[in-house]
Amino acid sequence: MRLSRSLSITSLSGLPLWEEESLPVQDLLLFEVSWEVTNKVGGIYTVIQTKAKITVDEWGENYIMMGPYYEHNFKTQVEKCEPPNQAIKAAMDSLNNNGCQVHFGRWLIEGSPYVILFDIGAAAWNLDRWKGDLWNACSIGLPYHDREANDSLIFGSLVAWFFKELTDQLQDKPNVIAHFHEWQAGTGLVLSRSRKIPLATVFTTHATLLGRYLCAGNADFYNNLDKFNIDQEAGERQIYHRYCLERAAVHCAHVFTTVSQITAVEANHMLHRQPDVVTPNGLNVRKFSAMHEFQNLHSMNKAKIQEFVRGHFYGHLDFNLEKTLFFFIAGRYEFSNKGADLFLESLSRLNYLLRVHKSDVTVVVFFIMPAKTNNFNVESLKGQAVRKQLWDTAQSVKEKFGKRLYESLLRGEIPDMSKILDRDDFTIMKRAIYATQRHTFPPVTTHNMLDDSTDPILSNIRRIGLFNGRNDRVKIVFHPEFLSSTSPLLPMDYEEFVRGCHLGVFPSYYEPWGYTPGECTVMGIPSVTTNLSGFGCFMEEHVSDPSEYGIYIVDRRFRSADESCNQLTQFLFSFCQQSRRQRIIQRNRTERLSDLLDWRYLGRFYMHARHLALSRSFPGKFKMDHLNLAPTQGFRYPRPASVPPSPSASLHSTPHHSDEEDDDTYDEEEEAEKDRQNIKAPFTLEISIRKRAESIDMFTPSAMKRLKYTS
Fold of 28-278: Rossmann fold (3.40.50)
pLDDT at residue number 100: 95
pLDDT at residue number 544: 84
pLDDT at residue number 636: 65
User: What is the rounded distance in angstroms from the CA atom of residue 516 to the CA atom of residue 507?
Assistant: 11
pLDDT at residue number 696: 36
SS3 label, residue 106? strand
Among 616, 31, 4, 516, residue whose Cα is nearest residue 281 = 516
C-alpha distances (whole Å) from 140 to each of 153, 233, 249, 500 are 11, 17, 12, 49
- Is the domain covering 292-594 a CATH 3.40.50.1820 domain? no
Domain boundaries, the chain: 28-278, 292-594
pLDDT at residue number 212: 92
709: exposed, middle or buried (Cβ count in 10 Å: 0-12, 13-18, 19+): buried
- How open is the CA angle 531-534-539, to the nearest 5 degrees? 70
pLDDT at residue number 625: 57
Identical topology for domains 28-278 and 292-594: yes
What pTM did the predictor assign? 0.85
pLDDT < 50 stretches in the chain: 1-21, 626-634, 646-658, 660-662, 680-711
What is the bridge-based pairing of β-strands 373-376 and 503-505? unpaired
pLDDT at residue number 141: 95
pLDDT at residue number 635: 53
DSSP secondary structure string for all residues of 362-427: EEEEEEE----EEEE-HHHHHHHHHHHHHHHHHHHHHHHHHHHHHHHHHTT----TTTSS-HHHHH
Residues in contact with 298: Cβ distance below 8 Å, sequence separation at least 6, in sequence order: 499, 500, 524, 525, 587
User: What is the rounded distance in angstroms from the CA atom of residue 184 to the CA atom of residue 152?
Assistant: 5
